[in-house]
Chains A and B, each alone.
Chain A
Amino acid sequence: MNQPLLIDGREMEPPEPFEATIAALDTLQPGEELTLLLNCQPHPLYQVLRRNGYVWTETWDDDGTNVIRIRLA
């Protein structure tokens, strides 16, 4: 079964958001986008994404949510 394309990590205890994201990336297909919602900048995750050929964008909502959109480069 495919992992979800939206992960709301704002209420999760770290490193659950990291873990859920890694699991979701397992099944991410070219052209698909994974959206991760957090309250911070997950620098360790960014390093993993960078080293494994993913790109991402960050948009900060007014309520302080970091909307991170991840896809294969």
Chain B
Amino acid sequence: MSAHLSFDQAPPISVPLRFFLTAPLFGIAAGLLLAIDGGETLANRGHPFTLGLTHLIAAGFLLQVMAGALFQFVPVVTGGNVRRPQLVASLVHLGLGLGTPLLATAFFTLRPALFTAAVSLLAPGLLILVAIVGLALIGVSAQGDTLRALRAAVLSLLPTALLGATLALTLSGLVVSPVARVLEAHQAWALGGWALTLLAGVSWSVVPMFQITPPYPTALTRTFVPAMLTGLGLLSMGLLVSAPWADGLLLLGKALLLADAAAFAAMTLNLQARAKRKNSDSTRLFFRVAMICLLSFCVVGALLLATGGSTMTELPVALGILLLLGVFGAAVCGMLYKIVPFLVWLHLRSQLPKGVIPPNVNRMIPPVRTQRQFWLYLLGLALLLPSPWLPLAARAGGLCLALSCGLLLANLVGPVRIYRQHLRQHHNQFISQNCADGERPES
């Protein structure tokens, strides 16, 4: 390694890792609850149990990974300066880590005080994340489509958090709000403005880098964010305004969002098909699943828009599973298998003595283990998708999800062990070498 090159822009490894290693626990919890409780309640997306599970996945599993990725991505890829990363990460991790199970429990028990308690932890955690990471992104002088997407995603967390807090406080009885409209806006900002925009922005950089594909065309990378924000703006106005043309705005907004998402999904699949090296590693497979699910969601969504919707109460739940687990859950699993080994490699490079080569990134997690987790995840998804209509499938699907998230956690712990072992080994070598030479080791 070069001793003179500074890797200082990367935060301490514990900053993102705490989020990455916590996230699968929420997936395990959601899966086990489904396996134990069964799927009868999944027939209705408004059922408290369904809402609780939704937030364990969305605010637990997915948000933990995305927050951790921001702490790593912003300084290392955009050069943004996230101030006091360890302190900020601790506060955000605490807020999300405690607030999410409280929120889920609030839904399961319908105790108003728990909704208030959850908001009092989640809201500050999210606001700190938005403020500190947002400031870091604003301070970056360079421009680029990834940076624009990250800014838009972080900005979208604000309405997501505010609308979510409004809903929780409505359920706690502290405020009054039009729940159905606020919920629709919250979902759109959370899934479109935050999660999908973040995924797209990160994909512009990491898909060509890690999956050895051609770059995304600028026609897509430059228009994605404006289209997303326009669609969300139209949708929000359509929900807020009481006027005869409000429905038209809502329809236009949804159509724009679906078209934007579909373009991203289709292009990613196209790029994967044109990859210079066609291997089927787990990241590629997970991403393929994510994009196929996203495209499917867009097609079904477009059909529903064109036909005026459906009266099936089960359909929104199935679409929610498709998005949360099929798109974002799969993408997140795939990303983690690249991010965590790369993190370990990067930090070992900067800490090991010159001439000591860190282990190969692609061998830190045996491929057979990631593939096992992938197939189990896919099986879980395949069982959960029809489960709103077939409650029996929910138990098996939940179990697969729990096991898959357990395997994910075990797979991610492997590189962390490698990191600790290498540091310990070289520290011990330093100690024994210096003691043999008769010198005192530095403390």
Contact = CB atoms under 8 A, between A and B. Distances in A.
Interface in A34-49: 39-44, 47-48
Given A14-B210, A51-B6, A51-B8, A39 B362 contact: no
Interface stretch (B23-31, B59-67, B74-82, B96-104): B74-82
Given A39-B215, A44-B76, A48-B5, A11 B277 contact: yes
Interface residues of B, number: 31
B342 interface: yes
B276 A47 contact: no
B7 A48 contact: yes
A44 B77 contact: yes
Q: In this complex, which of A14, A26, A50, A51 has the most chain B Cβ atoms within 10 angstroms of its Cβ?
A: A14
Main DSSP-derived SS at the A contact region: loop
B276 A10 contact: yes
Contacts of B208: 39-41
Contact of A39 (B5, B9, B214, B345): B214
B413 interface: no
A42 B209 contact: yes
Contacts of A11: 276-277
B78 A43 contact: yes
A40 B209 contact: yes
A21 B209 CA distance: 15
B424 to A, nearest CB: 23
Q: In this complex, which of A22, A26, A47, A50 has the most chain B Cβ atoms within 10 angstroms of its Cβ?
A: A47
Contacts of A26: 2, 4
B343 to A, nearest CB: 11
A47 B7 CA distance: 9
A22 B277 contact: no
Contacts of A52: 4-6
Contact of B205 (A15, A39, A43): A43
Q: In this complex, which of A11, A23, A39, A43 has the most chain B Cβ atoms within 10 angstroms of its Cβ?
A: A43
Contacts of A47: 9, 75-79
Interface in B195-253: 205, 208-210, 212-215
B1 interface: yes
Contacts of B75: 47
A64 B215 contact: yes
Interface in B1-60: 1-2, 4-9
Contact of B214 (A14, A19, A64): A64
Contact of B361 (A15, A40, A48, A64): A15
B146 interface: yes
B426 to A, nearest CB: 18
Contacts of A44: 76-77, 346
Contacts of B276: 10-11, 39
Contacts of B349: 19, 22
Interface string A7-21: 000110111000100
Nearest to A23: B2
A40 B362 contact: no
A25 to B, nearest CB: 6
Contact of B77 (A10, A40, A43, A64): A43
B401 to A, nearest CB: 30
A22 B215 contact: no
Q: In this complex, which of A23, A41, A42 has the most chain B Cβ atoms within 10 angstroms of its Cβ?
A: A41
A15 B77 contact: no
A52 to B, nearest CB: 5
A41 B5 contact: no
Contacts of B79: 47, 50-51
A25 B338 CA distance: 25
A54 to B, nearest CB: 9
A1 to B, nearest CB: 14
10 nearest A-B residue pairs (beta carbon): A40-B208, A43-B77, A26-B2, A40-B209, A64-B214, A47-B79, A52-B5, A44-B76, A43-B205, A47-B9
12 contacts: A13-B277, A14-B210, A15-B361, A22-B5, A39-B212, A40-B205, A47-B76, A48-B5, A48-B6, A52-B4, A52-B5, A64-B215
Given A13-B362, A39-B215, A47-B75, 5 more contacts: A39-B214, A41-B208, A41-B209, A48-B5, A51-B6
